[in-house]
Structures are given as structure tokens and as C-alpha cells.
Amino acid sequence: MSKKQYQPLTIPRLSWNKETLSPTYAELIAQPLEPGFGITLGNALRRVLLGGVEGSAVTSAIIAGVNNEFAPLPGVVEDTMQVILNIKQLVVSNKTGEPGKMTLKVKGEAEAKASDIVADEHLEIVNKDHIIAHVAENGLLDIEFFVESGRGYQPARWPIGQALQEDNRIYLDALFSPVTKVTFDVEKTRVGREIDYDKLLLSITTDGSETPIDVLNYSVSVLRTQLEHFLVTAEIPFNDISQVPQEPKEEETFSLEESPLKGVPVELLLKPIDELELSVRAHNCLINAGIKRIIDLVNLSEDEGLRIKNFGRKSLNEVKEAMKSFGLSFGMHIKESDIKRLLEGRES
């Protein structure tokens, strides 16, 4: 019996925007992706990044002189509850993922900052300028912090049936995730003559305890591990039959035969939308949305057009008819650099 032959998949190229790359922020560009895969992968990665990445946080603390979060705190400007809220904002980097302890002891009039904390060797405070409390002239602030690792959000784990602890420990709810924000956008990109492939732009912001590159690697590992268990038979070896498309050189990226510019009055694209002689309503809606040139208009999708304020279906159809008379349409994805290159070629 002959082995079934499968069609290869397009394997994306990954690149990081080096201009914006930092220990807390990064922008990933993945292209080309199979049509529709941009939203599928972007949404899955975003969900895991926000809720499934492991991190460390303070889960309990012992504050000398108090035995619960509502007790007064002598010699300190803030009350116990405010100090606890400040403790929750500590960003802890854990090199090993193991539990650990930290201590803070400030005596006399001073600001008790995160930089004053002495931590175990495998722990490090990221936001060292964070203020824990303000100690009065004759005051003393003595705190022992207990750090644990986990994923997502964990409510305070008070022992059942014990309102007060023998060691005066106060348990805290904790947000372990080092990822603070994830956004993604999907654009269309071209592979050869095909223009329907996806380009995924993923932006990741962390609190500094982990880098964006590390949390992405962690998230992909989580997804891959989970999805492997959905295989009901032998895995289809798409990696063996697929390949990453070669990235074209800059001077080879433009070909009139493969471009949507073919048969289009190129000079018209750089002119104002006034050339289309639209109604006042449609014209003003586009101008207010920042659509001032014809190239800006043809690079919009119909869905993007409908999202313009006060620009309804009737205006959309009017603009479509006006563009159609010049051989133009929505979603043409024309690069201004290609237009200029073509015009320069005609002049030479």
C-alpha cells in the first residue's frame, strides 16, 4: 500500500525588531503564515503568555509587631494594609524557580525601599526603587518575605480554621505572571504571486523578571506540550516536507508582472482622494480618518473602511465604484516604495 502524500506547509520566518528590543519589551514578526493562521497562532500565544507563564512572587510575610493585616503598625506612616499592598507590587526574579526568603529591616526615620531588602542568592528584586513604607524617627520596620513560584493568579492560602498564625504570618494573594501586556496584529503578505498569506506582529511587555524572548519560548513550549497529547496517530512530518521561503533581496522584491500595480495608473495613487470626485460626506469621513491619498485608500480592507466613523455601507459602495473606474479596489496592499521605484524606472 503506497504512503499518502501530503501538501507542504509554509514555514514562517521569525525576526525581532532590534530597534525596540529591551529586557521588558519586544516585537516579533512572523511571516509568511498560511492564510488564517495569523489569528489562530496570535490568539493562542497571547492567551498562554498572559496566563500560563511561570513566575515568582511574595505569597506571605511576617511583619514584626503585628499578627494580622488590620493591626496597627507603630512607628510607620503607612498602616499594615498599605504596607501589604506595597509588598504585592514587588517584582521578584527567581533564577532557579525554588522557594526562597527575603528580609527587610529599617530603623529610624527613612524610606524603606525594595533596594534595602536582603534576598536569598537565587532571588533578585527588579524594581529596587519601589517604596515599601516610610519609617518614623523612633520607628522600626522588620519584615520577612516568603517567595514562591507559580502560574497566573493565586489567592491567599490561609490555613483553614486559623484566623491568627502562631508565627504571625500574613498570607497574600499573588500574581505570578511576569507578562504584563500582549498585543498582536495580522497583516497580509505576499509569497511569489500569492498575496493572501498572513504576517503576524506580536508585541510582548514583561515586568522585567523575565525577558520577552524567554517568555515566548516558554509559551511555545507549553502549547507544543499540550497539543502533542491531541495526536491520535503518528504525527505527520510536515517539517520534513516543508521549508521556509527564502527572503527576497530588497532589489528583487518588486516585479510589475506580480504586482497589483499592473494596469493601474501609477501616478494617480500618490494624488489626493479629491481625484475620485467623491460626495462631501464620504470625502470628509475619509479625511477625518487620516485617509488623504488614494494609496492610503486602496490599502484599506473593506472591514477597515466600515470601521471609519460615520462611514457606512452606502459610502463604501460609492468609493468602490469610484475606484473601480480607475482599475482600483480595496485591499490592494501597494507599497509606496514600489510606486516610486516604478516611476524612477520610467524616468530613466
Chain centroid to CA 37? 17
Q: What is the pLDDT of residue 341?
A: 72
Q: What is the pLDDT of residue 30?
A: 94
Global pTM exceeds 0.75: no
Q: What is the pLDDT of residue 252?
A: 42
Residue 238 has phi, psi (to 5 degrees) of -65, -30
Q: What is the pLDDT of residue 277?
A: 87
Q: In angstroms, what CA-CA distances link 158 with 103, 180, 215?
A: 21, 27, 30
Residue 142 has phi, psi (to 5 degrees) of -130, 110
Q: What is the pLDDT of residue 93?
A: 96
> Taking the domains of the chain in order of start, what are their residue ranges?
13-51+179-241, 54-175, 259-347
Segment 224-245, tens digit of pLDDT: 999 999 998 888 888 888 877 7
Compute and round to an integer the Cα radius of gyration of the chain.
29
User: Distance between CA 296 and CA 273 in Å, rounded?
Assistant: 9
For 13-51+179-241, CATH gives: 3.30.1360.10
Q: Does domain 54-175 have CATH number 2.170.120.12?
A: yes
**Residue found under cell 512572523:** 30
Topology classification of domain 259-347: DNA polymerase; domain 1 (1.10.150)
- 10-residue averages of pLDDT along the chain (348 residues): 78 91 94 92 96 95 92 92 96 96 95 96 95 93 96 91 86 96 91 81 96 95 94 86 66 46 69 88 87 86 83 87 83 77 64
Q: What is the pLDDT of residue 190?
A: 77
Q: What is the pLDDT of residue 333?
A: 78
Q: What is the pLDDT of residue 327?
A: 79
- CB 103, CB 118: distance < 8 Å: yes
Nearest Cα residue to 317 out of 282, 275, 292:
282
Q: What is the pLDDT of residue 51?
A: 92
User: Distance between CA 117 and CA 123 in Å, rounded?
Assistant: 11
The residues, ordered by sequence, that sit 6+ positions from 83 with a Cβ below 8 Å of its Cβ are 63, 73, 76, 132, 133, 141, 143
